[in-house]
Structure 1
Amino acid sequence: MIKSMVYYGNTSIGEVEVWPKGDTNLGAAAWAREIRVDRLSPPSERCLPLAVMHTVAVGARCLDMESRPPKAADEPPPPLVAMHAACLRDNKTAVVPLGEEELHLVAMTSGRNLTNHACFWGYKVPFGLYNSCLTMLNLRCLGIVFDLDETLIVANTTRSFEDRIDSLQRKLSNETDPQRMNGMLAEIKRYQDDRSILKQYIEGDQVYDDGKMYKVQPEIVPPLSDNHQSLTRPVIRLQEKNIILTRINPLIRDTSVLVRLRPAWEDLRSYLIARGRKRFEVYVCTMAERDYALEMWRLLDPDSRLINSVQLSDRMVCVKSGLKKSLLNVFHDGSCHPGMALVIDDRLKVWDEKDQSRVHVVPAFTPYYAPQAEANCSIPVLCVARNVACNVRGGFFKDFDEGLLPRITSVLYEDEIQDISSAPDVGNYLISEDENVAVVNGNRDSLAFDGMADAEVERRMKVCFLTSNPPG
């Protein structure tokens, strides 16, 4: 135990006794001798601060703190007691800034029923995490993280189309099974048809399809920040085929891509924002090149209803090839806690092991290899994902409301947190799936892709830029 002084701003508000919890070494913590409260957190409508902390920072409790007994019976209570009462009344915490972290002092009720007494549990959490998660829990909102390539879209350049066709033709020359040969020929034909559409777009900014001519329409891409300029991209949308043609760099035709959107995306998107109520805060985590990823997301969310333009730069996380995806990296700004986030991805092993329980693995989107796979499903893949998201959210908040909150209300300063039920975690409400669920229609060659997947996108785009802008 150490003795310390608490300040609100520069004003001393009371002496306290502080006990370390967990691995905290108060003797080595310079801030522990003078605990300087900077502000009180926002009030909470329905969630007790301790419930928020138990959900997002159960292992982060670093101290217990209580006011020192008065020296005389008639001594007036220190201002610390008034701050304690205000925190209990308004469901607030007292916040002590610690660089990239914050110490939140959670006002507790003591079982000793002492008068003019203030007692707190202290939690050290990343900057901004408490406020973000408090808002989400009050609004009954979780996080959802989308992969792009082969999860929501498949995109190809002329070069990637040619590579796919060449690869299939080499396999075809060694194939003897008539059924497999027919399948390969049909797949080659689908690639060739889309390559032809892309070629028309590149060469003439227009496309003939089913006897109709479609000309490019300029679409303005708003700047991500004051340091960026707006772009105008030439875009063709073939709505009936779920195809969009766009140009990553509007000045370089070789960066043109043909994008196929996964069926039922609009159903999932509508659920996330139905009736103006946000059920999930949306993020994107991809191994693709950033400019490409931003454009793919713009095509998926053209009116910025899932992620507004101000947030997009922070919520678009591009992971370098060879590294694992991580929810801690996605929420680098403290905007959400990993245990409150659902991931939608066609691959499981690309995620950090501790996040894999929170991944709903969807079958890879394969419109060239298995064009009928989605249509033959009784429920489209993204409608299944919508149902999973709905069930996860329902289960999470049922346990939060009916399991955690009632028990939190009776916890006293003298109690131990281990006696409380475990915090809800998205991973508890997902049925674990073998990653082979991503294989559609039999034993698909694991090296074959329908479009540019993950790191290949970055390589393709760099090649396009270099060949169009040779150095020197």
Structure 2
Amino acid sequence: MAAPRPPPLGVPGGGTGGSGGAAPAAGAPAGVSMRMFHGEVFLGEMEVFPMKQGGDGGFPFPSNEIRVSHFSPVSERCPPLAILQTIAPFSVRCKLQSKLMPPNPSLHRLYLTCFSEYKSAVVVVGDEELHLVAMPTKLDKGPCFWCCSARSGLYASSVGMLNLRCLAIVFDLDETLIVANTMKSFEDRIEMLSRRMDVEDDPVRIAGMSAEIKRYIEDKELLKEFIDTDTVTDNGKIVGTRKEEVQPVSGGQERVFRPVIRLPDRNAILTRINPEIRDTSVFVKLRPAWEDLRSYLTAKGRKRFEVYVCTMAERDYALEMWRLLDPEGNLISPQQLSERVNCVKSGSKKSLQNVFRDRGCHPKMAMVIDDRLNVWDDKDQHRVHVVPAYAPYYAPQAEMANAVPVLCVARNVACNIRGGFFREFDENLLKKVFELHYENGLLDLPYAPDVGDYLVCEDTNFVPNNKDQAPIPEGMRGAEVEKRLNGQSFRGEQREGQQISSLTRSPDDEGMSNRGTGGGRNIQLNGGALAIAPSVFVTVLQEIGRLCDSKVEFRSTVSNVKSMQFSVEVLFSNEKIGIGTGKTRDEAQVQAAEKALQNLESSYLSFVAPIAGVPNKDSRKSPGSGNGFLEDVTSSDIDISMQEPSGSTLKQDHSKNLDKLSSVMSLIREYCLEDQHVVFRDQVRNSSPARNEEYHFQVELAGQVLGRGIGSDRDVAKLLAAEEALRTLKSTTDPQIKKYLRPVRCNG
């Protein structure tokens, strides 16, 4: 159901209004008279005014004729101008208003239909769509429109995403989500490591390389057994293949059944790209915590992100790797695979514009998860969350070196990005769009959010000791599979220097180069030192938030351009608990997280211990806490911190208050529209020698204050505020609040 909207001021009623057109204001450019049609039906004469003086760019209609071909899809909650400002900012080409008053009834009906149903009238001009957006007017000008341009098809795909509060996420495959090897790539890496060992003098490094070779040989033997017998021996048990059907990507393709062996305990899968050619067999390692990230993307049957793949691998190989990652097609349906899996030629730049060549999404509404930044077009790099390259043979324990697995960090980043994007969309863009009238200008349009604005890079790379050689790039890029599929056999020739690098990445590309780690801790792995980056403060803080059922946010505040200083503040359950400054945003974020942890130490000490190892997924959760990680800040059932432990034990009264607060918040959520988040705002704390500390909280819905509470205990103050908020929602007549509430349903 669409949110309430102010009536279109100045629209004439039955028989009222003048008989002539409204003259433009003094000094305004003269309008051009044009005939307007809906298909072949004449609607009336319109006056068209350019948004900019000079040039003919303000009159985009061919033959000075406006011919509406169709209506845009109906929007449930977003007015068309908000959608257009998001996907095509400041694209208003001209303004249109009825030349005669009262207007032609057909024109009046079209205007009211567009205005009340949140849709636009579309004029198609080549590869461009001109959207006529019905605007309210302060004066009696009759039906008035703004004309905005957008790429053909982009509006239709974006309206659903914005209504559902959905963004896009683009995954790389090799060394981001998986590492895959054929027999040949196993042999190449074993040979390369053996050569390194022959010229190495340090016994510690020799021991590390020897352990790495052992891991390669173990998996190589499993792959060889799979190739020869279609079975593997795992921990003394013989495991046979299962035939898995591959859904055809396009019509007319024959059904394909691949032999597959899944080894969950090893986080590994063996498959055969071409079932008829055994040499196309591949041993695939899946990155730990992929299931957790995948479950977030599909949690509760609602889409938080539309999923795409962009890889430099061969297409058949890429499609099979993705099938292994998404076997049930929950992230990308079989019908979408041909459009959603994008394969880029080696040496070319990846580009979001190419990923969305079908115009399924605008790049500013998309984030990328990749282990390399420099493979992306410069204009997209600020939307890339870079993860450390997956290296299961070089350092198998590295994935668990940080408090939170790499893909769980990526999940938290995606969660924060979505929350920040739609908070800006709801609280700034939508609010200001509702205030605009036909008479406003381009400069009155609000800023539209961009995913890149909310992506705070976190350096989660592990850093080898300065004495260690860079690891050999792991896995392969699909080139070997491509050759085998083309009937080419691999010769056993020795591959030197440049030949090896043509198959694999250079160490510089892997993100494995040494970086300063400040006060990072060292952990011994395979005889080598492994440094933990300072960004562990960020991930530990996020994990504390998860364990305490509290929302953690990082907000960039003031950037001092003259001194090149960035500032970031940390909010924990909407309370500021730390602030940091630095020469880069990353540095400021790490400093803010470290200070926040110091501030939380006394109150949340009992929750820090479990973070030293693998996160405990059975930890106490609040209702609707999803898969146990930080929940999305725009999801209505988890925006409020319902439990805030303040020590190693919880008092009985404290527990009762939390239970009551949880019940009150459940009732509040029943009143609010989905995704309209309710937050507690910490107001003022008063303390003096004469009296105990006093906590002040207020409850807000989309910026509107619903209730306030004061108490000597934090949770008492929250409970009082929540109870007053509930009473407000039950009795409010304020239209600014009611537009965020669920419609009253009548029984019968």
TM-score range, shorter chain: over 0.9
Structure 2 distance, partners of 1:21, 1:318, is 41
Please identify, of 147-156 and 37-46, the stretch whose mean Cα deviation from structure 2 is larger: 37-46
Q: Equivalent residue for 2:273?
A: 248
Structure 1 distance, partners of 2:379, 2:304, is 24
- Secondary structure at the residue paired with 1:336? coil
Q: Equivalent residue for 2:659?
A: none
Cα-to-partner distance string for 1:78-98 (whole Å, 9 max, x where unaligned): 522221121111111001123
Structure 1 distance, partners of 2:61, 2:97, is 19
Q: Equivalent residue for 2:381?
A: 356
Bigger relative CO (Cα 8 Å, ≥ 6 apart):
1
Matched, 1:299 2:324: yes
- Aligned residue type for 2:404: I
- Unpaired runs of 5+ residues, structure 2, are 1-30, 491-748
The residue correspondences of 1:85-124 to structure 2 (distance < 5 A) are: 85-114=112-141, 117-124=142-149
May I ask how many residue pairs the two structures share in their alignment? 458
Q: Equivalent residue for 2:99?
A: 68
- Secondary structure at the residue paired with 1:464? helix
- Secondary structure at the residue paired with 1:202? helix
Structure 1 distance, partners of 2:448, 2:310, is 25
- Aligned residue type for 1:81: H
- Secondary structure at the residue paired with 2:359? coil
The residue correspondences of 1:64-213 to structure 2 (distance < 5 A) are: 64-70=95-101, 77-114=104-141, 117-213=142-238
Q: Equivalent residue for 1:37?
A: 68
Cα-to-partner distance string for 1:298-325 (whole Å, 9 max, x where unaligned): 0000000011111111101111112111
Relative to structure 1, is the Cα distance of residues 438 and 49 closer, same or farther in structure 2, using a 3 angstrom cutoff?
same
- Aligned residue type for 1:13: L
Structure 2 distance, partners of 1:469, 1:182, is 34
CA contact (8 A) 1:165 1:188 kept: yes
Cα-to-partner distance string for 1:373-432 (whole Å, 9 max, x where unaligned): 012221010111111111111111111111111111011112123233311111111113
Residue in structure 2 matching 1:450, options 474, 479, 483: 474
User: Aligned-pair distance for 1:150?
Assistant: 0.5
Q: Equivalent residue for 1:461?
A: 481
Matched, 1:5 2:32: no
Structure 1 distance, partners of 2:51, 2:193, is 62
- Aligned residue type for 1:277: R
CA RMSD of aligned residues (A): 2.0
TM-score norm. by structure 1 comes to 0.92
CA contact (8 A) 2:103 2:143 kept: no
Q: Equivalent residue for 2:49?
A: 19
CA contact (8 A) 1:214 1:236 kept: yes
Residue in structure 1 matching 2:420, options 377, 387, 395: 395
Structure 2 distance, partners of 1:361, 1:407, is 34
Cα-to-partner distance string for 1:266-306 (whole Å, 9 max, x where unaligned): 00000001111111111111111110000000000000001
Larger radius of gyration: 2
Matched, 1:333 2:358: yes
Q: Equivalent residue for 1:214?
A: 239
Structure 1 distance, partners of 2:103, 2:184, is 79
- Aligned residue type for 1:46: R
Cα-to-partner distance string for 1:158-186 (whole Å, 9 max, x where unaligned): 11111111111111111111111111111
Q: Equivalent residue for 2:508?
A: none
Relative to structure 1, is the Cα distance of residues 467 and 45 closer, same or farther in structure 2, using a 3 angstrom cutoff?
closer
- Secondary structure at the residue paired with 1:136? helix
Structure 2 distance, partners of 1:438, 1:31, is 55
CA contact (8 A) 2:120 2:133 kept: yes
Q: Equivalent residue for 1:257?
A: 282
Structure 2 distance, partners of 1:76, 1:239, is 69
The residue correspondences of 1:358-437 to structure 2 (distance < 5 A) are: 358-432=383-457
TM-score norm. by structure 2 comes to 0.59
- Aligned residue type for 1:54: Q
Q: Equivalent residue for 1:56?
A: 87
Structure 1 distance, partners of 2:470, 2:125, is 48
CA contact (8 A) 1:264 1:383 kept: yes
- Aligned residue type for 1:6: M
Cα-to-partner distance string for 1:60-109 (whole Å, 9 max, x where unaligned): 32222222134xxxx65352222112111111100112333211111111
Q: Equivalent residue for 1:316?
A: 341
- Aligned residue type for 1:68: K
Structure 1 distance, partners of 2:431, 2:381, is 30
- Aligned residue type for 1:449: P
Structure 2 distance, partners of 1:306, 1:445, is 38
CA contact (8 A) 2:45 2:100 kept: no
Relative to structure 1, is the Cα distance of residues 276 and 32 closer, same or farther in structure 2, using a 3 angstrom cutoff?
farther
Q: Equivalent residue for 2:600?
A: none
Structure 1 distance, partners of 2:489, 2:473, is 28
- Unpaired runs of 5+ residues, structure 1, are none
Relative to structure 1, is the Cα distance of residues 24 and 185 closer, same or farther in structure 2, using a 3 angstrom cutoff?
farther
- Aligned residue type for 2:216: Y
User: Aligned-pair distance for 1:26?
Assistant: 4.8
Structure 1 distance, partners of 2:91, 2:50, is 12
Residue in structure 2 matching 1:235, options 257, 260, 285: 260
Relative to structure 1, is the Cα distance of residues 44 and 465 closer, same or farther in structure 2, using a 3 angstrom cutoff?
closer
Structure 1 distance, partners of 2:414, 2:212, is 33
CA contact (8 A) 2:85 2:91 kept: no
